[in-house]
Structure 1
Amino acid sequence: MTPLRRILIVGGGTAGWMAACALNQAVRLGGTRVELVESDAIGTVGVGEATVPSIRQFNQDIGLDEATFMKATQGTFKLGIEFRDWRAVGTRFFHGFGDTVVNTGPFSTLNHWLVARDLVGDAAGEFDAYHMAAVMAHAGRFTVPETDPRSPYHYFSYAYHFDAGLYARLLRTKAEREGVVRHEGRITGTNLDPETGFIRGVRLEDGRDLLADLFIDCSGFVSLLADKVLGEPFLDYSHWLPVDRAWAVPCAGHGPLLPYTRATALEGGWQWRIPLQHRTGNGYVFSSAHVSEDEARARLLDGLDGAALDEPRLLRFKTGRRQRFWARNCVAIGLSSGFVEPLESTSISLIQGGITRLIGLLPDQGFNPALAAEYNRIQALEFDRIRDFIIMHYALNGRDDTAFWRERRSMALPDSLAERIETFRETGHVVLLNEETFVTPSWQALFVGLGLIPTRRDPLMAVQKREDIVETLRLRRNSLAQAASRLPTHADFIARHCRAGA
């Protein structure tokens, strides 16, 4: 077994510097060098990021303190996503992070709520009212979870909003301080081994050759190595997810600092709102087959909470993934590996998963093909399961005002998603496989929020007295509301613990 001598990351940005920090920590004691090449002349896609809770584990693993991270990136906390106008114009529901007090079995919060709804109708309250993250979010409050399961503050999780450019800068500083070597320059060519087809090196515009054993392609949508050099096929998701453009623009902050992302359904797609400490990020993700670029730009600017701080930036993309993420001695991570539109803020989660799995399956110079096969299997499953979760938002929409939404509701679904929807519709059960990014509470929140109510109740609910169920839920709903009211506002919590400098 001969360890890798050098790993070269092609491209910086969020993906490149996340890979640099994590890989360097994993291999530096074994003598493997981690290097990164990027060009200041090539911009990155990052327009401001919302994330899912797994980012907290990544930062912890690389030794990045939360307060330091929040101050450096102008970050705020994210308890979930509020969806407006998806079921119908004027409606809203919340996808909160974490758990309800009980989420499985006949005594689950969902089963209790369904029975109470049958008995007392609207008096049972919204399903959101039984999820601590949603209750805190609607109240504009925040704290970190407690470890004691007897506490109402135990049953939720959180992620972050932050400036992606500032995050990459923070990671770069950390990586270089810990020994990662950065090369400045534009890649103009590659050297392939004539027998194996492995990449042996890349050539820069100034004539330098950078050699390595393993290459990580973090070059964004251009996919310099995986696509342009190795020609790895791209599996297109756009027949299910036809949005292919996004206008993005920051605006001045306005009103209270909210601890959640907002996703508002519009005529040909949806608009995001991501609050940071120093500004608010906004974007309109849309289908160019249904809304023109000029119309979408005007619609975005018309819907801002505050004054625009820059000219809107147009991003063009196609949803899908590589057939293989690891081909020969090259692993694609980030946008070079694929893109599932940003509706559930999964881009950084997919980067993190790709890095973590690579570290667990890191090859030596022998490059056992079984390692690449396993990596590709798991990555494909993660992409496809996230794909299904995103498609479900569109497939169950209740809007009838534009062709875009009517077409989404009538489209043929992947079998894996169609079966999951029908199982929930019939039984209220969420069928999960191993290593799912989104688990039972997330699927329940979206199913119920979009109006999919199971047709039958768990038969074991019959052993419970109906009046006890209604009273139990009433007490739980009141307890969560009271617990949220005792917390500091989101802005106050940040001011006390992690306010960024000017």
Structure 2
Amino acid sequence: MNDSKIKNIVILGGGTAGWMAANLLHKKWQHLGIQVTVVESPDIGIIGVGEGSTPLLKVFFDSLDIEESEWMPACNATYKNGISFVDWSTVAGYESYFHPFPTSLDFATFGFLYKYSTLRRQGLDLLAHPNRFSLLANLTEKRLAPLPAESFPFHFQYGYHFDSVLIGKFLRERAKEKGVNHIEATVESVEQHDNGDIKSLKLNTGEELSADFFVDCSGFAQF
């Protein structure tokens, strides 16, 4: 990006996707003087549901230097150890399965899972349920969070459950504090270059918004 002619980026749409993009782009390229603007329509609501994430959401917040103690209370967030599948199998004792986010310790125990499963298929009466070989599956059964002591030598991965409306608001305020522009307006039409690239957005406020690069986070509104 050092030699790029991109100086203005416009993101269409707020919510979780739009404000995540805004925070990341600003964090990555603010030193180059690139201005990020989010156009968010007050007439298009956000789908307000509880959401669950993979461990990549922790990577996202870590990349922005945002601590869990800051964003989790603001977004009604809890820890997520994995995904539970009910009616996974009709075999007695194996009806449900908890798919964990892996820890480095699991790479050792999963070897035993493979061996036990192979021997069970060969007729030996062995307990080979995957849940028995996963650290996070066992933590979940005991209703424990994936927060080991600092002396624990193994790496953990985990996700989160959170309120999607609240996390969008949190990221919006964070981005605005850092210098991201926020325009509340609805796009009425699009101007294009001869090659089909977007030239500008015409807003219901009468403003025409140009940029060097556009990011579509309009979701079901389908820009």
TM-score by length of 1: 0.41
With over 3 angstroms needed to count, the CA separation of the structure-2 counterparts of 1:216 and 1:161, relative to structure 1, is: same
Letter of the 1:18 counterpart: M
Distance in structure 1 (CA, Å) of the matches to 2:4 and 2:166: 37
With over 3 angstroms needed to count, the CA separation of the structure-2 counterparts of 1:39 and 1:161, relative to structure 1, is: same
Task: Please name the residue that 1:175 is paired with.
Answer: 175
Distance in structure 2 (CA, Å) of the matches to 1:116 and 1:100: 25
Letter of the 2:174 counterpart: K
Shift of 1:63: 1.7
Q: Which one scores higher on RCO, CA 8 angstroms, separation ≥ 6?
A: 2
With over 3 angstroms needed to count, the CA separation of the structure-2 counterparts of 1:77 and 1:191, relative to structure 1, is: same
Distance in structure 1 (CA, Å) of the matches to 2:45 and 2:90: 38
DSSP 3-state at the match of 1:55: helix
**How do 1:458-497 and structure 2 match up within 5 A?**
none
DSSP 3-state at the match of 2:169: helix
Task: Please name the residue that 2:98 is paired with.
Answer: 94
Letter of the 1:216 counterpart: V
Distance in structure 2 (CA, Å) of the matches to 1:4 and 1:72: 34
Q: Tell me if structure 1 keeps the 8 A contact 2:117–2:128.
A: no
- Of 108-117 and 165-174, deviating more is 108-117
Which residue of the other structure, out of 100, 103, 110, is the alignment partner of 2:107? 103
Task: Please name the residue that 1:158 is paired with.
Answer: 158
Letter of the 2:134 counterpart: H
Task: Please name the residue that 1:205 is paired with.
Answer: 204
Shift of 1:101: 3.5
Distance in structure 2 (CA, Å) of the matches to 1:215 and 1:40: 20
Q: Tell me if structure 1 keeps the 8 A contact 2:106–2:134.
A: no
With over 3 angstroms needed to count, the CA separation of the structure-2 counterparts of 1:102 and 1:68, relative to structure 1, is: closer
Q: Tell me if structure 1 keeps the 8 A contact 2:11–2:216.
A: yes
1:37 equivalent to 2:39? Answer yes
Between structures 1 and 2, the one with greater strand share: 2
Distance in structure 1 (CA, Å) of the matches to 2:9 and 2:148: 38
With over 3 angstroms needed to count, the CA separation of the structure-2 counterparts of 1:101 and 1:143, relative to structure 1, is: closer
Between structures 1 and 2, the one with greater helix share: 1
Shift of 1:80: 0.5
Letter of the 1:168 counterpart: G
Task: Please name the residue that 2:15 is paired with.
Answer: 13
With over 3 angstroms needed to count, the CA separation of the structure-2 counterparts of 1:167 and 1:45, relative to structure 1, is: same
Letter of the 2:84 counterpart: E
With over 3 angstroms needed to count, the CA separation of the structure-2 counterparts of 1:116 and 1:156, relative to structure 1, is: farther
Q: Tell me if structure 2 keeps the 8 A contact 1:133–1:157.
A: no
DSSP 3-state at the match of 2:42: coil
CA RMSD between the two structures = 2.4
TM-score by length of 2: 0.88
Q: Tell me if structure 1 keeps the 8 A contact 2:54–2:160.
A: yes
Structure 1 stretches lacking a partner, 5+ long: 225-502
Letter of the 2:188 counterpart: T
Shift of 1:157: 2.1
DSSP 3-state at the match of 2:54: coil
Distance in structure 1 (CA, Å) of the matches to 2:106 and 2:185: 54
